[in-house]
Amino acid sequence: MTLDIRLDPREARVFGVLVEKALTTPEQYPLTVNAATNGANQKSNRDPVLSLSEDEVASALERLEQKYMARKVFPMNSRVEKFCHNGKDALNLDAAGLAVVAELLMRGPQTPGDLRGRANRMAPIESLDQLAGILATLIERGYVQRLPPLPGSRAERYVQMLSPDLHPLEPPAGAYAAASSHVPRPLAPDAPQLAERVAALEVEVARLREQLQALAAKLG
């Protein structure tokens, strides 16, 4: 399937926020422009951290409406217009699929271990196997793309394709070379490599644990 939905960086952030808030704080959803702005500029679970004005967010919401990715509503007894996402219909995704897409929009490329842990706060993703199935569907529809592991890592990464070039696919140039400018320390990889290796090990451990639990269940 060829993806024909394209979001600019501000639209991507605001759409991700609408999905996130719908799943994590339904009692405060739909969102006013002010609430959407606060969510877009939130310092946690965001990369990069932005500082958008309400006018910029209102403009992004208007463009999302035009792309059928959001809609304006007037909840009962409310005189203030609010906004909700239309991802379920526009993208034909359930809550778990939307959570994965939103997480990638708001934080950039991630390994399966990181992605499951972060998206799980929005919608239950019980295992890495379940995540693999979600990612397979997203890839088939053109919403997500698989990336090769970073140098020194065995963990694949995934990036969203609704807003291409929204995040760099690799760390800044020189991130790996920086350590070489210092006195070498045997057996001490630099921070990015260490983090990725830890993530890869976490993925493997999680898979082994799930396999052992499944085997134990069969054996009684």
Q: What is the pTM of this model?
A: 0.77
How many CA atoms lie within 13 Å of 167's alpha carbon, on the beta-carbon side?
24
Q: Let me know: does 150 contact 172? Beta carbons within 8 Å.
A: no
User: Would you kindly state where each structural domain of the chain is located, as residue ranges?
Assistant: 9-91, 95-167+175-219
What was the pLDDT predicted at 149? 92
The string of pLDDT tens digits covering residues 205-219 is: 666 766 676 666 666
CA–CA separation, 35 vs 17, rounded Å?
A: 10
- The structural architecture, per CATH, of the domain 9-91 is Orthogonal Bundle (1.10)
Torsion of CA 208, 212, 213, 218, to 10 degrees: 140
DSSP class of residue 150 equals: P
The string of pLDDT tens digits covering residues 21-30 is: 999 999 999 9
CA–CA separation, 139 vs 48, rounded Å?
A: 24
Residue 157 in 3-state DSSP? strand
Distances (CA, A) of 164 to 6, 49, 75, 173: 8, 18, 34, 20
H-only helix segments in 125-188: 128-140
Band of residue 187 on the pLDDT scale cut at 50, 70, 90: very low
The string of pLDDT tens digits covering residues 99-134 is: 999 999 999 999 999 999 999 999 999 999 999 999
Band of residue 76 on the pLDDT scale cut at 50, 70, 90: confident
Classify 95-167+175-219 by CATH class.
Answer: mainly alpha
Identical fold for domains 9-91 and 95-167+175-219, yes or no, is yes
CA–CA separation, 22 vs 190, rounded Å?
A: 38
What was the pLDDT predicted at 199? 57
Q: Let me know: does 74 contact 118? Beta carbons within 8 Å.
A: no
Residue with the bigger pLDDT between 79 and 189: it is: 79
Cite the beta strand spans of 26-125 per DSSP E.
Answer: 70-73, 82-85
Q: Which of these, 112, 111, 153, lies nearest to 132 by C-alpha position?
A: 112
Q: Which of these, 107, 78, 132, 111, lies nearest to 20 by C-alpha position?
A: 107
Q: Which of these, 92, 125, 74, 99, lies nearest to 22 by C-alpha position?
A: 99
